[in-house]
Amino acid sequence: MSNQQERDFETAVKTMMVHVGENPQREGLLDTPSRVRKAYEFIYSGYKENPKEILAKALFTSSNDEMVLIKDIEFYSTCEHHLLPIIGRVHVAYIPDGKVVGLSKIPRVVNVFARRMQIQEQLTEQIADAIMEAIEPKGVAVVVVARHMCMEMRGVEKINSTTTSSALRGLFKKDQKTRSEFFSLINSPSGTRY
């Protein structure tokens, strides 16, 4: 972001504060426009990252052909309609076809898409498609369970309601046994914690 873009962003924040009835010159708010700009740069850092590059850097040849599941990947995102938080967990599984990916790359891909303005349904699809394209597995399954502050803080004001979305590719979509195993695993108690 150039210096001019930073100033423009901070001016926009001041305008919003005035619009809602605040005084941007009040002591506690003097540095708020700069803080908001820096926070937004982090919150929306997903626009600057390419998920396929992240995955491509950590692909390894493997004879494994059994399901790899990463459960409970915590994330936050922003509702593209109201710019309010979406907070939740993602479960991702894939069945390797000659290649596996470094485990830490899956949560990184979740973050790339989550750190953009989103709707949950699109977030779910984007994660599944990126993994399917980069790893070329036999199948990918993604389930996202999240709370939407646009439903809790405004509108219907329904506290603690959750939304679940899924994206199934390859064997997870075609094979009932594989799909059932995935849903059984993500719905089972966590068991032993390490």
Point out the residues that are catalytic: 79-82, 120, 148, 150
What H or E segment, with its residue span, contains residue 176? helix 176-187
**The residue type at 26:** R
Distance between CA atoms of residues 189 and 194, nearest Å: 14
Report phi then psi at 154, rounded to 5. -145, -175
3-state secondary structure of 74: strand
Pairing of strands 99-101, 59-61: antiparallel
The secondary element (H helix, E strand) that includes residue 34 is helix 32-43
CA 109, CA 171: separation in Å to the nearest integer? 21
Strand-strand pairing, 85-95 and 139-148: antiparallel
Beta bridge partners of 4: none
